[in-house]
Chains A and B, each alone.
With several copies, the nearest count.
Chain A
Amino acid sequence: MSACRTDELCVAVLARLIGDASHVAVGNASPIPGMAALLAQSGSGGRVRVSMLNSRRHNAFTDGGRELFDCAGQGRIDVFFLGGGEIDGEANLNLVSVGDPERPEVRFPGSFGSAYLYFTVPRVILFREEHSPRVLVPKVSFVSAPGTSPDNVYRPGGPAALLTGKALFSFNKNKKQFRLESVHPGETVDTVRQATGFEFDTADEVTNTPGPDPETLDLIRGPVAREIGEAYPQYAARFVRI
C-alpha cells in the first residue's frame, strides 16, 4: 500500500464498493464519490456507466431534473451515494434539522432526493468524511430517510455500507446495525468507537482499510483527478499530482 491521504483512500474504497455495478449515479456536491465512480469506470474498461449530476461530460440524462429519479424507479441505477447531517446506528439519515423542527438549533439544507433514492437504489453507499459523535449519533433528530422499512414496504434499495474518514462499516438490515469492517491508517477499533455516537457490531477480524495500490493511486492523482475537474474545478487542484 502506498502512502496516501484520507480523501484518496476514500476514493479508492468507494470505487471498490461500486465494484462491477453497471450504472452508478452521483448527486450534486459529491466530488469524492464522483472520483470513485470515474475510478471504477476506468477499472472496468468503461463498462461501468457513470451519471454524475454536476457533470456535463459524464451525464447522459436529457430529460430534466426528474430523470435521475425516474431512472432509479425503473431499476436502472445500481449504486448511489448519500450522506447526512446526522446518521444514526440504524442507518437513518437526517438532512433537515436538529432540535424542534419548528425552531431548530441546526438547520441543514434539506432532504434532497434521499427519501426516495434510499428506497429505490439497490446499493446506497453512505459517505461522510467527518467521523464524530456530532454526525454519527445514537438517534437522528429528524428522519429524512429511514435506514430500514417494515417488510410490507416496497423497498428494493437501502444502505450497503458507511464510509467515513476513519473507518468502513457494512450494514445488516435484519439486525438494523452497522458492523465495523476496517479502520483507516492511524485508527483502531477503540478510536473509532470513541468517535462514534452509536453502537455498532464489529467484524470477527477488523482489518486495516486497504489503500490504493500504486497504479490505482496514479490513476486517482492523474486521469481521475483531471477528469473530475470538469465537474468540480475547485477539487481537481486538490488531487492532481501527476
Chain B
Amino acid sequence: MTTEAVVPGVGELAARIEDGASLAIPPDYSNVPLAATAALIRRNARDLNLVAVPTSGLQTDLLIGAGCVASLEAAAVSLGEFGPAPRFTDAIRRGVLAMKDSTCPAIHAALQAGEKGVPFMPLRGVLGSDLIGRRPDWRVIDNPFGENDPILLLPALRPDVALFHARRADRAGNVWLGQRRELVIMAHAARRTLVSVEEIVDDDFLADEVIAAGTLPALYVEAIALAPGGAQPLGLEGVYEADRARLVDYAEMARSADGFARWLDHFLATKAAVA
C-alpha cells in the first residue's frame, strides 16, 4: 500500500528488537541478516531468545560472543565446512547459555503451529531421544486416533520478531523469497517481521503472478531496510558468494575470546562503513 515499511537502515531494524525478545533467524545457507546483526551488537542488545530456523551458524555465534543471547532453541549450531561454532561451544561448555536442543522438523512444525494459530503440532519420530527429557515444554500423548500409539506434541512457536535478509523488496514492502519458504512460515508465525534487503525496486511484486508466487506479502512485514551486502561475509544465493577467507579466519580466531573480539571489531567497523 504505502512505503511506510521502508526505514532508514539496519540500525532502525535493530532498534525495533527489544532486549529480551524472542528472535527467529534463518539457517546459515539462507538469507542471514548479518548487517542487522552487527547493528544489534552495536546497540548492545541483551537477553535475546534466539530461535534458529532450524539451525544457525555465524549469526548465532556472533550474538553469543557479543553477549546478546540469553537462550537459544536450535536443531544445530555450526559453521558447516568451517567447523564448530566456537563461541556457541564455549558458552555451552561453560554452562552460560540456556540451550533448548531440538530437531529440524520439530522447529518447522512448531512454527507451522504458530502460523496456523493452533497451540501445538504433532510430530512423528523423536520418541526415545534424550531431547525430550530436556524439553519440559514438549508433551508425549497417546494418539487419540490410534491405540497404544505415543506421539510427540510441540507447543506452537510464535517468536516476537523474525529477522532475515532478502534480495529484493518492492516499495510496498513485498519481499521476494523464492523457494526459501521457511522464511515465509517464519514471518507468518512471528508477531513482527523485519527484513534487510539488497535492493528496493519500483515493480509491484504482486502484479506479476510469477514473481508473486515467491513473494512474502507486505501484510506480514513491519519494516524493511536497505542493506547491500547485508549477508556478508556469508553468501546470498544468486547475488554473492561467501567470503571463505574471512570465515576461515573466524573459525580460527573465535576459538579465543580475544581473537573473537578482534574479528568482531573488524566486522563491526566494516558493517558501519557501509551502513
Q: Which A residues fall within an 8 A CB radius of B? A: 23, 28-29, 46-47, 49, 51, 60-66, 69-76, 95-97, 101-105, 107, 109-120, 142-146, 149-150, 152-155, 232, 234
Contact A62 B76, beta carbon cutoff 8 Å: no
Residue from B81, B85, B182, B213 within 8 A of A66 (CB atoms): B182
- Known pairs A70-B115, A112-B104, A149-B127; list 17 more (Cβ under 8 Å): A28-B29, A61-B217, A66-B112, A73-B105, A107-B92, A110-B101, A111-B101, A113-B75, A113-B105, A115-B129, A118-B125, A143-B128, A143-B129, A144-B131, A146-B128, A152-B150, A154-B124
Contact B116 A73, beta carbon cutoff 8 Å: yes
Shortest CB-to-CB span from B28 to chain A, Å, is 9
Contact A97 B181, beta carbon cutoff 8 Å: no
Contact B219 A60, beta carbon cutoff 8 Å: yes
Contact A110 B76, beta carbon cutoff 8 Å: yes
Shortest CB-to-CB span from A104 to chain B, Å, is 6
Note all chain B residues with C-beta closer than 8 A to A117.
125
Q: Which B residues fall within an 8 A CB radius of A? A: 1-2, 27, 29-30, 53-55, 74-78, 80-81, 84-85, 88-89, 92-95, 101-106, 108-109, 112, 114-118, 123-131, 134, 148-151, 174, 179-185, 188-189, 206, 212-213, 215-220
A29 to B29, CA, bound (A): 12
Note all chain B residues with C-beta closer than 8 A to A149.
127-128
Contact B84 A109, beta carbon cutoff 8 Å: yes
A116 to B106, CA, bound (A): 8
Note all chain A residues with C-beta closer than 8 A to B213.
62
Which chain A residue has the least Cβ–Cβ distance from B117?
A73
Note all chain B residues with C-beta closer than 8 A to A51.
219
Shortest CB-to-CB span from B260 to chain A, Å, is 16
A23 to B1, CA, bound (A): 12
Contact A103 B115, beta carbon cutoff 8 Å: no
Which chain A residue has the least Cβ–Cβ distance from B219?
A60
Contact B130 A143, beta carbon cutoff 8 Å: yes
Q: A110-B55, A115-B126, A154-B124 are in contact. Are A60 and B185 (CB under 8 A)?
A: no
Note all chain A residues with C-beta closer than 8 A to B114.
74
Contact A152 B131, beta carbon cutoff 8 Å: no
Note all chain B residues with C-beta closer than 8 A to A96.
101, 130-131
A154 to B76, CA, bound (A): 25
Shortest CB-to-CB span from B235 to chain A, Å, is 12
Contact A62 B182, beta carbon cutoff 8 Å: no
Contact B131 A62, beta carbon cutoff 8 Å: no
Contact A75 B93, beta carbon cutoff 8 Å: no
Contact A109 B77, beta carbon cutoff 8 Å: yes
Contact A64 B129, beta carbon cutoff 8 Å: no
Note all chain A residues with C-beta closer than 8 A to B220.
76
Shortest CB-to-CB span from B116 to chain A, Å, is 5
Note all chain B residues with C-beta closer than 8 A to A105.
93
